[in-house]
Amino acid sequence: MKINRNYLKLSENYLFSEVAKRTRDFQVAHPDVAIIKLSIGDVSRPLPAVVVKAMKQACTELGHAKTFHGYGPELGYPWLRAAIADFYREQYQVQLDTDEIVISDGAKSDLSNLLDIFDSQASVAMCNPVYPVYLESNLMLGRTPQFLPATVANQFLPLPDETITADIVYLCNPANPMGVCYNRQQLQLWVNFAREHHAVIIYDAAYACFVSGVDLPRSIYEIDGARECAIEVCSFSKMAGFTGVRCGYTIVPKKLLTRDGVSLNQLWRRRQTTKFNGVSYIVQRGAEAVFTVAGLQAVQKNLAYYRRNVRMIFKTLDELQWSYVGGKHSPYVWVRCPGARGAWECFDFLLNEVGIVCTPGIGFGTAGENYIRLTGFNSYANTRLACQRLLKLKQNKKH
């Protein structure tokens, strides 16, 4: 048997599977502890009512011969792609053609599947720490990425410099796991760099909905020249509560060409039509409803809910005098481990002392060894309880 031996370079479990496993083991050993999860970025607010209504309606249609749908267009229904294009035009003043947008089952798959359209020898750069999917998808293909350290020294926002030689640069903005956000000038530097070096930016905008403020772009296409060098990957997961429903989209501009004029848009469409049969009609109808007035209002209400949780976490960390970054335009807070602990040590400490599950920073890369990530995605009641428990560490002088 000739297996892909690159898999043997991976850790035994995917980060969030490992966190889940350790949490389960702890729960079995301590059945009385009411664990609170501030770990994986899974939403707690239910789907907007208008989305549920649209999906129910779509389901009903499928049950009648006259309105039944079989295979849909592999790249997504035109009405959903048009709704996304309208949203970009109205919210970001970005003009997209609908055939630049391809609907998928979420950002995670696309961030990895996109590698199919690049040369196996193409070099890759990414932050350290980083969303593990970027790294592990590349390791599976035998690539060794170049890491861009995200540290206190660069405010966790690496910028391009002449040491970077990559053909592909992954950028997540706002960043996962650090929760920090590039501004317009900084993104312009990345776009200029990519154009000068004929590199491609794979821009993960899964958390863009959390960004608000002047000079903080929510799409890479708000930056001059980005259409010539960037692919944007986005998802309905965090924006509209689709973590379990599964829907996302990838934008590959038609202006994105190789030096000899090959269209990456064409390659991606070719890849998807061969390897993917599209997202279900029901789910796409639900996603379309996100862009209605009621849908967008519900989205804002849910985002406000998660932001309030993050503010509560900030207040608690301030009280504990634990240092942290992120969270202002993101659901994630990147916390320096208290007491000079390592990341897994801190994970165990919080689980054992207060029954809180965090994500150990080392799971995102070596630069995360002294950090943990907390999320504002849990319910308000659970987040409040978690904060109260954390404050007890101070009273008990255990922090």
Residues in contact with ligand MLT by the rule CB under 6 A = 40-41, 108, 131, 176
Q: CB 82 → ligand MLT: shortest distance, Å? A: 26
Residue with the two structure tokens 């002294």: 370
Residue (131 or 249) nearer to ligand MLT, CB: 131
Cα 224-229-231 angle, rounded to 5 deg: 105
Q: How far is the CB of 41 from ligand MLT (least distance, A)?
A: 3
Residue nearer to ligand MLT on the CB measure, 88 or 131: 131
Q: What angle do CA 284, 289, 292 make, to 5 degrees?
A: 145
CB of 108 to ligand MLT, least distance (A): 5
Q: For residues 28 and 22, give the distance between their C-alpha atoms in angstroms, rounded to a whole number.
A: 10
Residue nearest to ligand MLT (CB): 41
From the CB of 273, what's the least distance to ligand MLT, in Å? Answer: 25
Q: Provide the phi-psi class of 71: left if phi over 0, else alpha when psi is between -120 and 50, else beta.
A: beta
Q: Phi, psi at residue 134, to the nearest 5°? A: -60, -50
Cβ closest to ligand MLT, residue 132 vs residue 338: 132
324: helix, strand or coil = strand
Residue number with CB closer to ligand MLT (199 or 356): 356
Residue closer to ligand MLT by CB (options 15, 299) is: 15
Cis check for the bond before 338: say yes or no (omega within 30 of 0).
Answer: no
- 193/347 with CB nearer ligand MLT: 347
Question: In terms of Cα–Cα distance, which of 148, 257, 118 is closest to 195?
Answer: 257
Those residues whose C-beta lies under 8 Å from the C-beta of residue 266, and which sit 6 or more positions away, are: none
Cβ of residue 261: shortest distance to ligand MLT, in angstroms? 35
CB of 360 to ligand MLT, least distance (A): 12
217: nearest Cα among 50, 41, 93: 93
Grouping H, G, I as helix, E, B as strand and the rest as coil, residue 379 is coil
